[in-house]
Structure 1
Amino acid sequence: MAESTKSSWVSTLTLTNKPRVRMLALAVTVAATLFLLWQSNEPAVTSYSDARQLRGDAEPDGFVVNGRYTSYDENGQRKIVFTSPRIEQFEEGNIANMQSPRAELFSDTGEGPWILNAENGSLQQDDDLLYLTGNVRVVRTIGEREATLKTESLTLDNNKGTVYTDDRVEITDSVGTTRAKGMKAWIDDRILELNSQVEGRYETVR
Protein backbone atom coordinates (compact mmCIF):
# COMPACT_ATOMS: atom_id res chain seq x y z
CA MET A 1 0.00 0.00 0.00
CA ALA A 2 2.87 2.40 0.82
CA GLU A 3 4.60 1.71 -2.53
CA SER A 4 1.41 2.50 -4.48
CA THR A 5 1.07 5.83 -2.74
CA LYS A 6 4.69 6.76 -3.44
CA SER A 7 4.47 6.01 -7.17
CA SER A 8 1.28 8.08 -7.47
CA TRP A 9 3.05 11.06 -5.83
CA VAL A 10 6.05 10.75 -8.24
CA SER A 11 3.67 10.67 -11.20
CA THR A 12 2.08 13.91 -10.06
CA LEU A 13 5.47 15.61 -9.75
CA THR A 14 6.34 14.55 -13.29
CA LEU A 15 3.36 16.50 -14.66
CA THR A 16 4.70 19.71 -13.13
CA ASN A 17 7.49 19.92 -15.69
CA LYS A 18 5.13 22.00 -17.82
CA PRO A 19 5.09 25.68 -16.67
CA ARG A 20 1.30 26.18 -16.81
CA VAL A 21 0.56 22.97 -14.97
CA ARG A 22 3.28 23.75 -12.44
CA MET A 23 1.79 27.21 -11.71
CA LEU A 24 -1.70 25.74 -11.36
CA ALA A 25 -0.46 23.06 -8.95
CA LEU A 26 1.43 25.68 -6.95
CA ALA A 27 -1.66 27.87 -6.71
CA VAL A 28 -3.79 24.97 -5.51
CA THR A 29 -1.15 24.02 -2.93
CA VAL A 30 -0.92 27.58 -1.59
CA ALA A 31 -4.72 27.86 -1.41
CA ALA A 32 -4.98 24.56 0.43
CA THR A 33 -2.23 25.56 2.86
CA LEU A 34 -3.90 28.92 3.62
CA PHE A 35 -7.24 27.16 4.16
CA LEU A 36 -5.70 24.69 6.61
CA LEU A 37 -3.90 27.47 8.50
CA TRP A 38 -7.11 29.51 8.72
CA GLN A 39 -9.02 26.50 10.06
CA SER A 40 -6.37 25.69 12.67
CA ASN A 41 -6.29 29.29 13.95
CA GLU A 42 -10.03 29.47 14.60
CA PRO A 43 -10.57 30.15 18.32
CA ALA A 44 -12.32 27.46 20.34
CA VAL A 45 -15.84 28.24 21.57
CA THR A 46 -15.08 28.86 25.21
CA SER A 47 -16.82 32.11 26.09
CA TYR A 48 -19.90 31.96 28.30
CA SER A 49 -22.13 33.75 25.77
CA ASP A 50 -21.15 31.43 22.92
CA ALA A 51 -21.60 28.33 25.05
CA ARG A 52 -24.98 29.56 26.23
CA GLN A 53 -26.07 30.25 22.65
CA LEU A 54 -25.12 26.72 21.64
CA ARG A 55 -26.93 24.96 24.47
CA GLY A 56 -29.94 27.32 24.76
CA ASP A 57 -31.25 29.40 27.67
CA ALA A 58 -33.09 26.48 29.24
CA GLU A 59 -29.98 24.33 29.68
CA PRO A 60 -27.99 24.75 32.93
CA ASP A 61 -24.28 25.53 33.17
CA GLY A 62 -23.92 22.62 35.55
CA PHE A 63 -25.89 20.40 37.90
CA VAL A 64 -25.51 18.52 41.16
CA VAL A 65 -27.18 15.21 42.05
CA ASN A 66 -28.29 14.79 45.68
CA GLY A 67 -27.06 18.28 46.55
CA ARG A 68 -26.87 19.78 50.03
CA TYR A 69 -26.50 23.48 50.92
CA THR A 70 -25.80 24.82 54.42
CA SER A 71 -25.79 28.46 55.50
CA TYR A 72 -24.30 29.73 58.79
CA ASP A 73 -24.64 32.93 60.78
CA GLU A 74 -21.74 35.12 61.93
CA ASN A 75 -21.31 32.93 65.03
CA GLY A 76 -20.95 29.75 63.00
CA GLN A 77 -24.42 28.48 63.91
CA ARG A 78 -26.52 26.77 61.27
CA LYS A 79 -29.27 28.96 59.83
CA ILE A 80 -30.55 26.90 56.92
CA VAL A 81 -29.90 23.47 55.47
CA PHE A 82 -31.59 22.34 52.30
CA THR A 83 -31.28 19.28 50.12
CA SER A 84 -32.47 18.35 46.65
CA PRO A 85 -32.13 15.26 44.44
CA ARG A 86 -31.09 17.54 41.56
CA ILE A 87 -29.82 21.14 41.57
CA GLU A 88 -29.20 22.94 38.27
CA GLN A 89 -26.81 25.91 38.31
CA PHE A 90 -27.16 28.92 35.99
CA GLU A 91 -24.27 31.38 35.90
CA GLU A 92 -26.41 34.28 34.72
CA GLY A 93 -27.99 35.69 37.85
CA ASN A 94 -26.17 33.07 39.97
CA ILE A 95 -29.36 31.02 40.28
CA ALA A 96 -29.76 27.40 41.36
CA ASN A 97 -33.00 25.58 40.49
CA MET A 98 -33.94 22.59 42.62
CA GLN A 99 -36.22 19.62 42.26
CA SER A 100 -38.25 18.57 45.32
CA PRO A 101 -36.29 20.78 47.74
CA ARG A 102 -36.39 20.23 51.49
CA ALA A 103 -35.20 22.96 53.83
CA GLU A 104 -34.58 23.10 57.57
CA LEU A 105 -34.63 26.58 59.15
CA PHE A 106 -32.95 26.98 62.54
CA SER A 107 -33.72 29.76 65.04
CA ASP A 108 -31.71 31.27 67.86
CA THR A 109 -34.09 29.80 70.45
CA GLY A 110 -32.60 26.32 70.14
CA GLU A 111 -36.01 24.77 69.45
CA GLY A 112 -36.58 22.35 66.61
CA PRO A 113 -36.18 23.67 63.04
CA TRP A 114 -38.94 24.67 60.67
CA ILE A 115 -39.20 22.05 57.92
CA LEU A 116 -40.06 23.24 54.38
CA ASN A 117 -40.94 20.99 51.43
CA ALA A 118 -42.01 21.88 47.89
CA GLU A 119 -42.13 20.52 44.36
CA ASN A 120 -39.72 23.14 43.00
CA GLY A 121 -37.28 25.68 44.35
CA SER A 122 -35.07 28.46 43.04
CA LEU A 123 -32.20 29.95 45.02
CA GLN A 124 -30.88 33.42 44.16
CA GLN A 125 -27.47 32.99 45.71
CA ASP A 126 -26.40 36.66 45.49
CA ASP A 127 -29.39 37.75 47.61
CA ASP A 128 -29.76 34.51 49.62
CA LEU A 129 -33.43 34.26 48.57
CA LEU A 130 -35.12 30.88 48.20
CA TYR A 131 -38.36 30.69 46.18
CA LEU A 132 -40.51 27.59 46.71
CA THR A 133 -43.44 26.70 44.46
CA GLY A 134 -45.92 23.85 44.10
CA ASN A 135 -47.52 22.13 47.10
CA VAL A 136 -45.42 24.00 49.64
CA ARG A 137 -45.60 22.63 53.18
CA VAL A 138 -44.07 24.13 56.32
CA VAL A 139 -43.99 22.18 59.57
CA ARG A 140 -43.06 24.02 62.76
CA THR A 141 -42.94 22.69 66.30
CA ILE A 142 -43.17 24.74 69.49
CA GLY A 143 -42.91 22.56 72.55
CA GLU A 144 -45.24 19.62 71.99
CA ARG A 145 -47.48 21.52 69.58
CA GLU A 146 -46.95 20.98 65.85
CA ALA A 147 -48.48 23.13 63.11
CA THR A 148 -48.50 22.59 59.33
CA LEU A 149 -48.81 25.43 56.83
CA LYS A 150 -49.82 24.73 53.22
CA THR A 151 -49.59 27.16 50.30
CA GLU A 152 -48.62 27.26 46.61
CA SER A 153 -45.61 29.57 46.86
CA LEU A 154 -43.29 30.78 49.57
CA THR A 155 -40.20 33.01 49.70
CA LEU A 156 -37.44 32.57 52.26
CA ASP A 157 -35.21 35.59 52.92
CA ASN A 158 -32.26 34.04 54.71
CA ASN A 159 -30.60 37.41 55.38
CA LYS A 160 -33.65 38.76 57.24
CA GLY A 161 -34.77 35.42 58.69
CA THR A 162 -38.28 35.72 57.25
CA VAL A 163 -40.64 33.64 55.10
CA TYR A 164 -43.62 35.14 53.29
CA THR A 165 -46.23 34.66 50.58
CA ASP A 166 -49.10 36.52 48.95
CA ASP A 167 -50.95 33.29 48.12
CA ARG A 168 -53.65 31.68 50.23
CA VAL A 169 -52.41 29.72 53.23
CA GLU A 170 -53.93 27.04 55.42
CA ILE A 171 -52.55 26.35 58.89
CA THR A 172 -53.55 23.21 60.73
CA ASP A 173 -52.62 22.28 64.29
CA SER A 174 -54.01 20.23 67.15
CA VAL A 175 -56.75 22.73 67.99
CA GLY A 176 -58.09 23.69 64.55
CA THR A 177 -57.56 25.15 61.09
CA THR A 178 -56.86 28.74 60.06
CA ARG A 179 -57.06 30.11 56.51
CA ALA A 180 -55.89 33.45 55.18
CA LYS A 181 -54.60 35.26 52.13
CA GLY A 182 -50.92 36.07 52.50
CA MET A 183 -48.66 35.73 55.53
CA LYS A 184 -45.24 36.63 56.89
CA ALA A 185 -43.24 34.84 59.56
CA TRP A 186 -40.10 35.72 61.54
CA ILE A 187 -38.12 32.54 62.18
CA ASP A 188 -36.02 33.64 65.18
CA ASP A 189 -38.95 35.28 66.96
CA ARG A 190 -41.37 32.44 66.12
CA ILE A 191 -43.95 35.02 65.04
CA LEU A 192 -46.43 34.41 62.23
CA GLU A 193 -48.53 37.26 60.84
CA LEU A 194 -51.58 36.65 58.61
CA ASN A 195 -52.36 39.39 56.10
CA SER A 196 -56.07 39.35 55.22
CA GLN A 197 -59.28 37.31 54.82
CA VAL A 198 -58.50 35.40 57.99
CA GLU A 199 -60.97 32.72 59.03
CA GLY A 200 -60.62 29.88 61.49
CA ARG A 201 -62.32 26.78 62.79
CA TYR A 202 -61.35 25.54 66.24
CA GLU A 203 -62.29 22.74 68.56
CA THR A 204 -63.51 23.84 71.95
CA VAL A 205 -62.10 22.14 75.00
CA ARG A 206 -64.80 20.67 77.25
Structure 2
Amino acid sequence: MAQSEKNSLLSTLAMTNKPRLRMLALAATIAATVFLLWRSDEPPITSYSDARQLRGDAEPDGFVINGSYTSYDETGHRKIVFTSPRIEQFEEENLATMESPNAELFSATEAEPWVLEAENGRLRRNEDQLYLTGNVRVVRTIGDRKATLVTESLTLDNIQGTVYTDEPVEITDSLGTTRAKGMKAWIDERIVELNSQVEGRYETIR
Protein backbone atom coordinates (compact mmCIF):
# COMPACT_ATOMS: atom_id res chain seq x y z
CA MET A 1 0.00 0.00 0.00
CA ALA A 2 1.37 3.44 -0.93
CA GLN A 3 2.37 5.84 1.83
CA SER A 4 -0.22 8.50 0.75
CA GLU A 5 -3.02 5.94 0.91
CA LYS A 6 -1.88 4.85 4.38
CA ASN A 7 -1.93 8.47 5.58
CA SER A 8 -5.45 9.00 4.16
CA LEU A 9 -6.70 5.80 5.81
CA LEU A 10 -5.17 6.79 9.15
CA SER A 11 -6.80 10.22 8.96
CA THR A 12 -10.20 8.64 8.24
CA LEU A 13 -9.82 6.21 11.15
CA ALA A 14 -8.76 9.04 13.43
CA MET A 15 -11.92 11.07 12.55
CA THR A 16 -14.08 7.95 12.95
CA ASN A 17 -12.68 7.34 16.42
CA LYS A 18 -13.16 10.95 17.51
CA PRO A 19 -16.86 11.92 17.26
CA ARG A 20 -16.24 14.96 19.45
CA LEU A 21 -13.80 16.31 16.88
CA ARG A 22 -16.39 15.86 14.12
CA MET A 23 -19.06 17.67 16.16
CA LEU A 24 -16.64 20.49 16.92
CA ALA A 25 -15.81 20.94 13.23
CA LEU A 26 -19.52 20.96 12.31
CA ALA A 27 -20.30 23.53 15.01
CA ALA A 28 -17.45 25.74 13.83
CA THR A 29 -18.76 25.61 10.26
CA ILE A 30 -22.31 26.59 11.34
CA ALA A 31 -21.00 29.42 13.51
CA ALA A 32 -18.90 30.79 10.64
CA THR A 33 -21.91 30.67 8.28
CA VAL A 34 -24.16 32.52 10.74
CA PHE A 35 -21.45 35.14 11.33
CA LEU A 36 -21.03 35.76 7.58
CA LEU A 37 -24.79 36.13 7.07
CA TRP A 38 -25.06 38.53 10.02
CA ARG A 39 -22.20 40.65 8.69
CA SER A 40 -23.62 40.85 5.14
CA ASP A 41 -23.55 44.37 3.68
CA GLU A 42 -26.90 43.80 1.86
CA PRO A 43 -29.44 42.45 4.38
CA PRO A 44 -32.56 40.79 2.95
CA ILE A 45 -35.74 42.88 2.60
CA THR A 46 -38.04 41.92 5.46
CA SER A 47 -40.93 44.38 5.20
CA TYR A 48 -43.13 46.29 2.76
CA SER A 49 -41.77 49.64 3.98
CA ASP A 50 -38.18 48.54 3.30
CA ALA A 51 -39.13 47.56 -0.26
CA ARG A 52 -40.92 50.87 -0.82
CA GLN A 53 -37.92 52.84 0.51
CA LEU A 54 -35.59 51.10 -1.93
CA ARG A 55 -38.04 51.44 -4.83
CA GLY A 56 -39.04 55.06 -4.24
CA ASP A 57 -42.44 56.67 -3.71
CA ALA A 58 -43.00 57.35 -7.41
CA GLU A 59 -42.65 53.70 -8.43
CA PRO A 60 -45.71 51.42 -8.33
CA ASP A 61 -45.96 48.27 -6.25
CA GLY A 62 -47.19 46.41 -9.31
CA PHE A 63 -48.76 46.90 -12.72
CA VAL A 64 -51.20 45.18 -15.05
CA ILE A 65 -51.02 45.17 -18.86
CA ASN A 66 -54.37 45.29 -20.71
CA GLY A 67 -56.25 45.30 -17.42
CA SER A 68 -60.03 45.15 -16.99
CA TYR A 69 -62.23 45.92 -13.97
CA THR A 70 -65.94 45.07 -13.62
CA SER A 71 -68.30 46.21 -10.86
CA TYR A 72 -71.75 44.71 -10.21
CA ASP A 73 -74.80 45.97 -8.35
CA GLU A 74 -76.59 44.07 -5.56
CA THR A 75 -78.71 42.17 -8.10
CA GLY A 76 -75.67 40.92 -10.03
CA HIS A 77 -76.05 43.20 -13.05
CA ARG A 78 -73.04 44.97 -14.49
CA LYS A 79 -72.65 48.48 -13.14
CA ILE A 80 -69.33 49.60 -14.62
CA VAL A 81 -66.66 48.05 -16.84
CA PHE A 82 -63.40 49.82 -17.53
CA THR A 83 -60.25 48.81 -19.33
CA SER A 84 -56.76 50.23 -19.70
CA PRO A 85 -53.63 49.19 -21.60
CA ARG A 86 -51.60 49.76 -18.40
CA ILE A 87 -52.72 49.98 -14.76
CA GLU A 88 -50.22 50.76 -11.99
CA GLN A 89 -51.04 49.90 -8.38
CA PHE A 90 -49.90 51.77 -5.25
CA GLU A 91 -50.86 49.66 -2.24
CA GLU A 92 -50.19 52.16 0.56
CA GLU A 93 -52.50 54.80 -0.99
CA ASN A 94 -54.96 52.10 -2.18
CA LEU A 95 -54.67 53.80 -5.57
CA ALA A 96 -54.56 52.58 -9.15
CA THR A 97 -53.52 54.82 -12.06
CA MET A 98 -54.49 54.07 -15.65
CA GLU A 99 -53.32 55.01 -19.12
CA SER A 100 -56.03 55.77 -21.70
CA PRO A 101 -58.89 54.38 -19.58
CA ASN A 102 -62.16 53.42 -21.21
CA ALA A 103 -65.27 52.94 -19.05
CA GLU A 104 -68.78 51.72 -19.79
CA LEU A 105 -71.56 52.69 -17.34
CA PHE A 106 -74.67 50.51 -17.36
CA SER A 107 -78.17 51.14 -16.03
CA ALA A 108 -81.20 48.93 -15.52
CA THR A 109 -83.41 51.11 -17.73
CA GLU A 110 -81.38 51.41 -20.95
CA ALA A 111 -79.62 48.86 -23.12
CA GLU A 112 -76.82 51.16 -24.29
CA PRO A 113 -74.16 52.13 -21.71
CA TRP A 114 -72.55 55.52 -21.30
CA VAL A 115 -68.99 55.34 -22.64
CA LEU A 116 -66.22 57.36 -20.97
CA GLU A 117 -62.74 57.91 -22.45
CA ALA A 118 -59.75 59.94 -21.24
CA GLU A 119 -55.98 60.20 -21.43
CA ASN A 120 -55.44 59.34 -17.75
CA GLY A 121 -57.38 57.86 -14.85
CA ARG A 122 -56.97 57.43 -11.10
CA LEU A 123 -59.06 54.93 -9.15
CA ARG A 124 -59.42 55.42 -5.39
CA ARG A 125 -60.50 51.95 -4.34
CA ASN A 126 -61.54 52.94 -0.79
CA GLU A 127 -63.96 55.56 -2.11
CA ASP A 128 -64.71 53.62 -5.34
CA GLN A 129 -64.14 56.82 -7.34
CA LEU A 130 -62.60 57.06 -10.80
CA TYR A 131 -61.02 60.45 -11.63
CA LEU A 132 -60.47 61.06 -15.36
CA THR A 133 -58.28 63.81 -16.85
CA GLY A 134 -57.17 64.94 -20.30
CA ASN A 135 -59.57 65.09 -23.28
CA VAL A 136 -62.40 63.41 -21.39
CA ARG A 137 -65.27 62.25 -23.62
CA VAL A 138 -68.63 60.87 -22.56
CA VAL A 139 -70.83 59.31 -25.27
CA ARG A 140 -74.49 58.67 -24.51
CA THR A 141 -76.77 56.85 -26.97
CA ILE A 142 -80.57 56.85 -26.73
CA GLY A 143 -82.13 55.05 -29.66
CA ASP A 144 -80.86 56.73 -32.84
CA ARG A 145 -79.73 59.85 -31.00
CA LYS A 146 -76.15 60.19 -29.78
CA ALA A 147 -74.78 62.94 -27.54
CA THR A 148 -71.11 63.58 -26.79
CA LEU A 149 -69.81 65.53 -23.79
CA VAL A 150 -66.21 66.77 -23.69
CA THR A 151 -64.33 68.30 -20.74
CA GLU A 152 -60.87 68.27 -19.17
CA SER A 153 -61.65 66.39 -15.96
CA LEU A 154 -64.46 64.20 -14.68
CA THR A 155 -65.15 62.18 -11.51
CA LEU A 156 -67.16 58.97 -11.50
CA ASP A 157 -68.59 58.09 -8.08
CA ASN A 158 -69.45 54.41 -8.37
CA ILE A 159 -71.13 54.28 -4.94
CA GLN A 160 -73.46 57.23 -5.56
CA GLY A 161 -73.90 56.41 -9.26
CA THR A 162 -72.99 59.94 -10.34
CA VAL A 163 -70.62 61.65 -12.77
CA TYR A 164 -69.60 65.26 -12.14
CA THR A 165 -67.10 68.03 -12.92
CA ASP A 166 -66.53 71.70 -12.12
CA GLU A 167 -64.72 72.24 -15.44
CA PRO A 168 -66.31 73.74 -18.57
CA VAL A 169 -68.26 71.17 -20.57
CA GLU A 170 -69.52 71.03 -24.15
CA ILE A 171 -72.37 68.74 -25.19
CA THR A 172 -72.96 68.06 -28.87
CA ASP A 173 -75.82 66.09 -30.42
CA SER A 174 -77.81 66.05 -33.64
CA LEU A 175 -79.77 69.14 -32.58
CA GLY A 176 -76.87 71.44 -31.70
CA THR A 177 -74.25 72.34 -29.06
CA THR A 178 -74.61 73.26 -25.39
CA ARG A 179 -71.86 74.75 -23.23
CA ALA A 180 -71.79 75.19 -19.46
CA LYS A 181 -69.53 75.56 -16.43
CA GLY A 182 -69.78 72.38 -14.39
CA MET A 183 -72.08 69.39 -14.70
CA LYS A 184 -73.54 66.54 -12.65
CA ALA A 185 -75.25 63.45 -14.03
CA TRP A 186 -77.13 60.55 -12.38
CA ILE A 187 -76.38 57.36 -14.30
CA ASP A 188 -79.42 55.23 -13.41
CA GLU A 189 -81.89 58.09 -13.82
CA ARG A 190 -80.15 59.29 -17.01
CA ILE A 191 -80.43 62.88 -15.79
CA VAL A 192 -77.85 65.57 -16.65
CA GLU A 193 -77.75 68.83 -14.67
CA LEU A 194 -75.69 71.79 -15.95
CA ASN A 195 -74.41 74.05 -13.19
CA SER A 196 -73.94 77.58 -14.56
CA GLN A 197 -73.14 79.80 -17.58
CA VAL A 198 -75.32 77.63 -19.78
CA GLU A 199 -75.57 78.62 -23.42
CA GLY A 200 -76.67 76.71 -26.49
CA ARG A 201 -76.81 76.85 -30.25
CA TYR A 202 -79.33 74.70 -32.08
CA GLU A 203 -80.17 73.92 -35.67
CA THR A 204 -83.58 75.07 -36.85
CA ILE A 205 -85.75 72.17 -38.01
CA ARG A 206 -87.64 73.04 -41.20
How many equivalent pairs are there?
175
- Correspondence for 2:181: 181
Partner deviation per Cα, 1:162-197 (whole Å, 9 max, x = no partner): 000000000000000000000000000000000001
Residue 73 of structure 2 aligns with which residue? 73
Looking at structure 2, the residues matched to 42 and 50 of structure 1 have their Cα atoms a distance apart, in angstroms, of 12
Amino acid in structure 2 at the alignment position of 1:160: Q
The Cα offsets for residues 135-176 of structure 1, whole Å up to 9 and x where unpaired, read as: 000000112110000000000000111000000000000000
Structure 1 position 46, deviation (Å): 3.0
CA–CA distance in structure 2, aligned partners of residues 103 and 41 of structure 1: 48
SS where residue 121 of structure 1 aligns? Answer: strand
* C-alpha separation in 2, matches of 1:89 and 1:61: 6
Q: Map residues 1-206 of structure 1 onto 2, 5 A cutoff.
A: 36-39=36-39, 44-206=44-206
| Percentage identity across paired residues of the two chains | 79
- Partners of 2:57 and 2:146 in 1: CA distance: 42
| SS of equivalent residue, structure 1 residue 152 | strand
The residue matched to 2:44 in structure 1 has which SS?
A: coil
Q: Which amino acid aligns with 1:111?
A: A
Question: Any gaps of 5 or more consecutive residues in structure 1?
Answer: 1-31
Q: Distance in 2 between matches of 1:85 and 1:158?
A: 21
1:40, distance to aligned residue in structure 2 (A): 5.7
Calculate the aligned-residue CA RMSD, in Å.
1.8
What SS is found at the alignment partner of 1:51?
helix
Q: TM-score when scaled to structure 2?
A: 0.81
Structure 1's consecutive aligned runs of 4 or more residues displaced over 4 angstroms after TM superposition are: 32-35, 40-43
Once residues 114 and 34 of structure 1 are traced to their aligned partners in structure 2, the CA distance between those partners, rounded to angstroms, is 62
* Displacement of 1:72: 0.3
- Write the distance in 2 (CA, Å) between the matches of 1:34 and 1:127: 48
Alignment deviations for residues 88-119 of structure 1 (CA, whole Å, 9 cap, x no partner): 00001211100000000001103200000000
After superposition, the C-alpha distances for 1:35-67 in whole angstroms (9 at most, x for unaligned) are 525226985213111111111111000000000
CA distance in 2, matches of 1:184, 1:52: 38
SS of the residue corresponding to residue 51 of structure 2 reads helix
Q: Report the 3-state secondary structure (helix = DSSP H, G, I; strand = E; otherwise coil) of the residue aligned with 1:36.
A: helix
State the secondary structure of the residue aligned to 2:39: helix
